[in-house]
Amino acid sequence: MSQSEHRPALSVLSEDELAFRDAVREFAEAEIKPHVGAMDEAAEMRSDIVAKLFEMGLMGIESPEKYGGAGATFTMACLAVEELGRIDGSVSVLCDVQNTLVTNAFLKWGTDAQKEKYLSKMAKEWVGAYALSESSSGSDAFALKLRAEQKGDKYVLNGNKLWITNGNEANVFIVFANIDATKGYKGITAFIVEKSFPGFKVGKKEDKLGIRASSTCELLFENCEVPAANVLGEVGKGYKIAIETLNEGRIGIGAQMVGIAQGAYEAALNYVKSREQFGKPIAQFQGVQFQIAQMRTELEAARLLVYNAARLKDAGLDFIESAAMAKLYASKAAEKITSLAIDLFGGNGFTREYPVEKFWRDAKIGQIYEGTTNMQMQTIAKIELDK
């Protein structure tokens, strides 16, 4: 069976979803794959690839058609993230943050005017970013030091953010700041910040182990003026927006990890069929066969956990525990599968001439961003113990 014919988990996808997934796969193979190595080496995203993501309609998958989006489902967004991840984790996470975090935040919390302005731009040309993390607030996401002070019809923001995905490419940022430190998390408010706002600047880009073409940047706010009309949701409700948006975003990260694992698995499967030792392909050795079986099973289990969580979200059902499980399992499975792929390649797998070392580097972040492995386990355990 060729790679293009390999269609896992068919029973859970509709014909429309399959057609969409195949279209994204074809696009990723033709337009992204030729540039993956160079982008990784340069640690830079090609602007023409970002433009093509917009042309393909992959940057506004859930946005209503009246805003220029596809009006599709969250599951469709996850399928796109998965297929892009199969080729390049960096392009995948750019699309993921755009759709599962920023777009979803606007859809759920934006005013009609905010949706009209920003979703319309994000469907056509604007990249979005989600700015929550700071040096002192990682897993303790609400220990924020970025301050917002109201002055007339605007807020003035001072402080900085760290590790912000899409920092270089983004035109609009959802930024979380505290308007009253004495209120703790109840003072946290979400603001819509445009790249052109006075007092806002993108700072240092991190030099990372994996997803290197994805820009991860510091954001600097020095008397940054944000119109009061750019408060997202209600003042003081930023903690609720952050929690609910991240619950959705974790499914997207699970999809990215499934895609990365799929890419590594396919590379390993093809390699063991062609690599000969002791006069025969190594795929004929039982030890190799058992590793392939383990990789394939864990990959499918991860995929089905992600699809299930996405389906629950689309159906308006409780998906929080399922999202945590999907991210927890998929990120661990991706690290294991990509590592086994390197093992099966032997010495070749440790070189940049072959693709599996990059899949392994890209997979590691899955256990860290949008909620660490420990935070996912804490979420699952709390839900179970409260039953």
- By the 10 Å C-beta count (0-12 exposed, 13-18 middle, 19+ buried), 334 is classed as buried
Is there a single domain that holds both residue 212 and residue 327?
no
Predicted TM-score (pTM) above 0.75: yes
In the chain, the number of structural domains is 3
- Residue 5: per-residue pLDDT: 46
Is there a single domain that holds both residue 143 and residue 118?
no
Range of the domain at 332: 240-385
The residue from 204, 236, 268 where one domain ends is: 236
Is there a single domain that holds both residue 380 and residue 244?
yes
Is there a single domain that holds both residue 54 and residue 91?
yes
Is there a single domain that holds both residue 61 and residue 161?
no
Q: For residue 311, give the CATH number of its domain.
A: 1.20.140.10
Is there a single domain that holds both residue 159 and residue 144?
yes
Is there a single domain that holds both residue 330 and residue 357?
yes
Tell me the Ramachandran region of residue 9: left when phi exceeds 0, alpha when psi lies from -120 to 50, beta otherwise.
left
- Residue 251: per-residue pLDDT: 98
Please report how many Cα atoms fall inside a 13 Å half-sphere around the Cα of residue 186, on the Cβ side: 2
Identity (one letter) of the amino acid at 196?
A: S
CA separation for the pair 362, 384 (Å, rounded):
31
Phi, psi of 172 (to 5 degrees): -135, 140
The residue from 221, 236, 251 where one domain ends is: 236
Q: For residue 99, give the CATH number of its domain.
A: 1.10.540.10
- Residue 1: per-residue pLDDT: 39
For the chain, count helices (H), then strands (E). 13, 10
> Under 8 Å CB-to-CB from 47, ≥6 apart: which residues?
none
Cβ contact 126:194 at 8 Å: no
CA separation for the pair 163, 143 (Å, rounded):
15
Handedness of CA 73, 176, 305, 301 (dihedral sign): positive
CA separation for the pair 200, 181 (Å, rounded):
22
Is there a single domain that holds both residue 111 and residue 199?
no
**44, 244, 370, 384: which one is catalytic?**
370
Is there a single domain that holds both residue 155 and residue 214?
yes
Name the DSSP class of 134: B
Token pair recorded at residue 358: 């990059």
The tens-digit pLDDT sequence of the chain (387 residues) is: 344 444 455 557 999 999 999 999 999 999 999 999 999 999 999 999 999 999 999 999 999 999 999 999 999 999 999 999 999 999 999 999 999 999 999 999 999 999 999 999 999 999 999 999 998 887 776 789 999 999 999 999 999 999 999 999 999 999 999 999 889 889 999 999 999 999 999 999 999 999 999 999 999 999 999 999 999 999 999 999 999 999 999 999 999 999 999 999 999 999 999 999 999 999 999 999 999 999 999 999 999 999 999 999 999 999 999 999 999 999 999 999 999 999 999 999 999 999 999 999 999 999 999 999 999 999 999 999 999
Give the DSSP per-residue string, 151-218: ETTEEEEEEEEEEEETTTTEEEEEEEEES-GGGGGGGEEEEEEETTSTTEEEEEEP--SSSTTS-EEE
Q: For residue 162, give the CATH number of its domain.
A: 2.40.110.10
* Integer angstrom CA distances of residue 94 from 213, 224, 282: 10, 25, 37
Is there a single domain that holds both residue 339 and residue 364?
yes
Q: Which letter, b or e, does each residue of 211-222 get, where b requires 16 or more Cβ atoms within 10 Å of its Cβ?
A: bbbbbbbbbbbe
Is there a single domain that holds both residue 174 and residue 269?
no
Confirm whether 370 is a catalytic residue: yes
The residue from 127, 143, 160 where one domain ends is: 127
Is there a single domain that holds both residue 47 and residue 174?
no
